[in-house]
Structures are given as structure tokens and as C-alpha cells.
Structure 1
Amino acid sequence: MSGGSGEWAVELRGVRRRYGRGAGTVHALRGIDLTLPRGSFTAVMGPSGSGKSTFLQCAAGLDRPTEGTVRLGGTEITGMNENKLTALRRSRLGFVFQSFNLLPSLTVEQNVLLPIRLAGARPDRQRAREMLAQVGLDQHGKRRPGQLSGGQQQRVAIARALVTRPDVVFADEPTGALDTVTAGEVLSLLRRAVDQLGATVVMVTHDPVAASYADRVLFLADGAFADSLPRASAERIAARLTELTATAGRTAPAGVRAPVAVGAETGVGPL
């Protein structure tokens, strides 16, 4: 890996996650090796039970891998104590969830500023206004989330995720609760955050249309990456996902990782 770890927003080396013991052991992740460059938009897809949620939780420091290491923005988080990990998540990571997770008692502007307040820094109202302008809500800062549509609430969540200039934004099914038109608007915002603001986005989704906005789609199957596609149409992504779903459970056994396309130009693949 040339250039040192500073060029990578996300690095996973040999990440495994097991739940339970003995015959009841579940191998949720079977040895993930992955690097994602800064300023990239990556979608992660896979059949139900493929390990998507576990991957996101381990990559974002919300769960600890059984084996392996995770680095975010060049910082290894695997051995961090919970206090340091919480501080890192508040200051250097952004999160966008399907359910928006806005606090109804706070104004839109206060919701956007929340990560800064939780990190113990002085709230930067100008920064909040700038981020709301980026998502087209600069006139809505004094409203409450309940006064906004679902799409507008997700825009607020994106502004909140970006306000600290995080190393990575993790998005978990960000369009799952939105209609098709509104989902497209939200995905375009995430795309612009990467292209214009230099953000790094890692999105777990079941929707091939959503995945088509990403620079690269990674496919998980039985806890391992089985394939990847550079930016592709929704139709091509759906076809590949259908193939993987049909063969789920007949992939490599534990300890054997299916190959992922590797190339210096992609920044994705084994280290």
C-alpha cells in the first residue's frame, strides 16, 4: 500500500466477527480485507444475512471485531477504550440512518450542531447554516423536525453528519423510508458531498438504484466480499445481486475469502 495509511479513509485488515460458541457459532464476518480512499462513495450490498450490518458496525466502531484491525482516517480504533472511541465517533465520524434519528425537541439548527456540542466544542452556528444551505434547508433552521417532510428530515441528518468534517460518513439504508423521488434527491446530496466537499461515504443498502450513485459497489456473501463493481447501472447491480442471492450459502467455507477485484486505481481490495 503506497503512500502510507493517511490516504485511506477506511482500512480493515483480517476482520472477523463471531457470535456464540461451539456448534452455535455464527460467523458474521469471515476475514474482511478492505481499503477505501478518501473522497470516495462506496455502496455495500448483499443477500439477507450476508453480514452487511455487522460490517458497518465494525467499520464504524459500533462493534468490536473478534479478530483483525480497523483504521479510520489512519487511526486504529480496534483497541480503543470506550470513552476514546465515543469521542472519536462524535468528532470524526458522521452517521445517516433510515429513521433519521433527529431529536424532536431541538430545532433543525440545534440538531445539526449536536455532534459539535457532544464533542465538547463550541457550537459554530455559521458552520451549521452553511451545511443547511448545502442541503437546501437554509430557511428551515428554526423549525422542529416534526414540521418537515421525511426527505427534509433526512437532509438535516446529512447536514448533521457532515458538520464536523468527518473522516467518514456511514449511511445505513438512508433512503429506506423515502419515496423514489425523495430518495433520488437524498442520494444526489450524498453524491455531491463526495464530489464537491471531498466527503467519504460508506453506504449499506439493499436498493440497486441507491447503489448506482456510488463509485463502487461491494457485494457481501456469507460474511466475505464476493465481488465488486465500479460505478454501474442499477440494472447491472441488480443482476449481480440476484446471482449472489441465488448462490448464498454455497460460497467459500469459513476461513476462505472469495476474491475481490483489486487495482491500484480503485483503492479497494486486499492489503
Structure 2
Amino acid sequence: MGLRRSKRQHGQHGQHGQAAQDRQAAQEPYDTTAAVELRGVRRAYGRGDRAVHALRGIDLSLPRGSFTAVMGPSGSGKSTFLQCAAGLDLPTGGSVRLGGTEITAMNENELTELRRSRLGFVFQAFNLLPSLTVEQNVLLPMRLAGGRSAHEGRAHAAELLARVGLAGKGGRRPAELSGGQQQRVAIARALVTRPDVVFADEPTGALDTTTAAEVLGLLRDAVDALHATVVMVTHDPAAAAHADQVLFLADGLIADRLPRSSAAAVAARMTALTARHAPAAAAAAA
């Protein structure tokens, strides 16, 4: 009995201590120049001994106009990181700010509005609506957010389609385009509201090497020419080599960082990280 009470008391102290840390982090001044800022972000699934700790305390500040790639072994927390940073999932603890706005206390309606008006998304599966034209797919976030007149919107969509190499194709349906062209449409759609951040989840995973390089060049151009901020989860060192920096996640923590480097350098760092954490992963699985 005494042992059980001691463990319970210890757990309560731990919870109180973590809550105090979360409050302290929330009170500290934020980096006003950051497009994305995470403080002590944790995400656990389940409770007690069976809880899975996908993120264990992420502290990160990404400046506006930057391109960040996120890599890591399977189960390292990459997808959870992206979901929490983009407001698609709420962290268990810590805080997230996007464009200077604290989002962890928002309700679902507020988060939906934020995602429509201030965030862009590019996914591996393109996620275009087949019944809409290319132009209508690009304009969809703007119309959902209620911004701009129809004339201004169409002009902006045409400008973006031209930038991604699809001038004159606004009237086509997604099924009439190749996979690479569909991903170009998705990039134009992600940029149409001039978002604070574009989140890309394995954006080249369904593309061949040549087409993937073209798509990555467009994301790079969005950063360099349009001053967009891109956060991309990828398993591909060649994709990560287009970014300003690569963050390596392992066991729910940022285990390493690498400034803009060649694909070979990124691959070597990834191999070393995987080897270093393989014993721990095997022990946890056992």
C-alpha cells in the first residue's frame, strides 16, 4: 500500500511540476520574428504505463522566409510534430505559436479558420477535388476564408499557376494532369492565401526523381521569391537538401540539426542517427 501511495504521489508531483513548466513557458516572451515557435511541446497517446510518448518536449523557433526539412527514423515523431505544429492535433503539453498567434488554446472553429486563412498544406496524395477545375482548386482556400473579390482571386490564381508552370491550364480537371502537374496545383493552392507557413508532408513521395526535383524547386522558389515559410517532413535526403536546415527527430526529441547540405551529407547524418538510436528502439519494442 505504501509503495502504491508513493508512486501515486510521485506521479501527482510530476504532473504538477510539468503544469508549472507549461505555465512558465507560456508567460515567457515569444520570438516575434518567428513564423513557427514550439515550446516544450509534448504529445502522448494513451495513459499510464501504456502511454506512447510521440513528442517528449520540442523547443523550436523557425524564422519567417525559411525552408526547414524534418527527418527521422520511423516512429521518431515526424508526423506528430507536423500535426501539432500545424494545429491539426493538440499537444498534451507545451505551446505552439504560428505567425505570433498562440494556437494551443484555440477551439476547433478557431483552428479551422486559422488553417483556412493563414496556413497552406501540400500532401503526398495531392488532395485535389476531382469535380473542380484547376483554377477552382487553387481558389478554394481563399473562398473558404472569404477573402478577395472573384476577379482579384482569379487574377491571383492565374499568377500562381503561371509561376508553377501551369499557365493556361486553369480550366482543366485534375484527372487531365500528370502527378507532377497535380502537385504543382497543390503548391499554388497552398500559396494562394499568402499563408504564414506552408506545411508539406512527403510532397514528393508519389513522384519520380525528375518531377520531384522540379516540385522541390518550386517550394524553394516560394521561399526565395515569395518569402514563404516552408516546413517539410520527408524521408528523402535529396528533398531535404533543398532546405535551409534539416532537423532530425528521434524518440520524440530533436536529436540533431544540419544547415543546408548536399543529399549525401544529409543521408550520412541520417544513417548515423538511425544506427545510434536503433538499440534503444529495439529495447523499447522488446
Report if TM-score (shorter chain) is over 0.5. Answer: yes
Match of 1:157 in 2: 186
CA RMSD of aligned residues (A): 1.4
Given the superposition, is the C-alpha separation of residues 250 and 14 from structure 1 closer, same or farther in structure 2, using an over 3 Å criterion? farther
Q: Distance in 1 between matches of 2:91 and 2:70?
A: 18
Match of 1:231 in 2: 260
- Within the candidate set 33, 45, 60, 2:86 is matched to 60
AA aligned to 1:218 is L
AA aligned to 2:74 is S
Higher radius of gyration, 1 or 2 = 2
- Within the candidate set 260, 266, 270, 1:241 is matched to 270
Contact 2:31 2:61 in 1 (8 A): no
Match of 2:41 in 1: 15
AA aligned to 1:198 is H
| Length-normalised TM-score, structure 1 | 0.90
Match of 1:144 in 2: 173
Aligned ranges for residues 181-220 of structure 1 at < 5 Å?
181-220=210-249
Q: Distance in 2 between matches of 1:11 and 1:160?
A: 24
Structure 1 residue 240: Cα displacement: 0.8
Match of 1:111 in 2: 137
Contact 1:19 1:28 in 2 (8 A): yes
Superposed CA offset, 1:203-257 (max 9, x none) = 00000000000000000000000000000111111111111111225569xxxxx
Superposed CA offset, 1:40-95 (max 9, x none) = 00000000000000000000000000000000000000000110110010000000
Superposed CA offset, 1:114-169 (max 9, x none) = 00111123441111111101101111000000000000000000000000000000
Contact 1:155 1:186 in 2 (8 A): yes
Q: Distance in 2 between matches of 1:185 and 1:201?
A: 16
* Equivalent residues, number: 250
Given the superposition, is the C-alpha separation of residues 247 and 230 from structure 1 closer, same or farther in structure 2, using an over 3 Å criterion? same
AA aligned to 2:172 is R
Structure with the larger RCO, 1 or 2 (CA within 8 Å, 6+ apart): 1
AA aligned to 1:168 is V
Structure 1 residue 6: Cα displacement: 2.7
Q: Distance in 1 between matches of 2:157 and 2:80?
A: 31
Percent identical across equivalent pairs?
Answer: 77
Q: Distance in 1 between matches of 2:71 and 2:121?
A: 18
Contact 1:222 1:249 in 2 (8 A): no
**What secondary structure does 2:32 align onto?**
helix
Match of 1:41 in 2: 67
Q: Distance in 2 between matches of 1:4 and 1:244?
A: 30
Q: Distance in 1 between matches of 2:246 and 2:260?
A: 7
Structure 1 residue 5: Cα displacement: 3.0
More helix by share: 2
| Length-normalised TM-score, structure 2 | 0.85
Q: Distance in 1 between matches of 2:145 and 2:117?
A: 6
